[in-house]
Amino acid sequence: MDGLRCNDPAVLRALYKQHFPSVRAHVLKNSGTVTDAEDLFQEAMAVLWLRVKDGAMKEGSEAGAFLFRVAKNKWLDQLRSASHRHMRVVPIEHIPENPVEETTATEERLARLREVYANMDERCRNVLGRFYFQREDLATIAAAMGVEEDSIRTIKYRCMMKLRAFRRRINGGDEPIRP
């Protein structure tokens, strides 16, 4: 969980290697494609990641079972949609059925976070992504981009102020921030 909390690439890769095959097998067995499976796994990873960030996953929780349950429920939702109504779903006996409500709020929050990210330009995504996601320091980012460290610090501040202005706009001025 600590590795996921600090976006450790080795942990992300290990989760993919270990748990994507079961999601892919389930989707392929139920009229889906590899691309469907990849999209579902991405979404399930985002839900797991946000719950870890929020401290909502207990230490020792089984990440694989959680990922599979989220992916399976989302695939069921898609199969129930109009275009897939005629398809038959292979039942899965060994995964306990947990209520999906727990992930609904998380998914709504993910949608809001994605809206904020979509509002950023490419330069801000690059600088902020390196700093907050990859946890690179300012000197490393500056060296990689061939500019001074102070320029990166200024860019980071201005990009975050643009996001702040956007959030304040969608939240209606000084309204409290919706998490």
1 lines the binding site for other proteins (CB under 8 A):
no
Backbone angles phi, psi at 81, to 5 degrees: -70, 165
3-state SS record for 138-168: HHHHHHHHCCCHHHHHHHHHHHHHHHHHHHH
The correct pick among 28, 87, 95, 161 for binding other proteins (CB under 8 A) is: 161
Binding status of residue 50 toward other proteins by CB under 8 A: yes
- Between 80 and 114, CB nearer to other proteins: 114
Backbone angles phi, psi at 164, to 5 degrees: -60, -45
Say which DSSP state 85 is in. T
**18: Cβ–Cβ under 8 A, 6 or more apart, which residues?**
64
Instruction: Select the span of 72-80, 81-89, 98-106, 131-139 touching other proteins (CB under 8 A).
Output: 131-139
144 is a contact residue toward other proteins (CB under 8 A): no
In this structure, how many other beta carbons lie within 10 angstroms of the beta carbon of residue 28? Answer: 13
Tell me if 80 sits within 8 A of 88, measured CB to CB.
no
Residues 167 and 86: their CA atoms lie apart, in Å, by 42
Which one among 40, 41, 68, 71 touches other proteins, defined by CB under 8 A? 41
Q: Interface mask (CB under 8 A) for other proteins, residues 69-88, using x and -?
A: --------------------
Among 25-33, 68-76, 78-86, 145-153, the segment contacting other proteins (CB under 8 A): 145-153
> Which of 95, 98, 134, 139 is the binder for other proteins (CB under 8 A)?
134
* Contacting range for other proteins; rule: CB under 8 A; set: 57-65, 78-86, 93-101, 110-118: 110-118
46 binds other proteins (CB under 8 A): yes
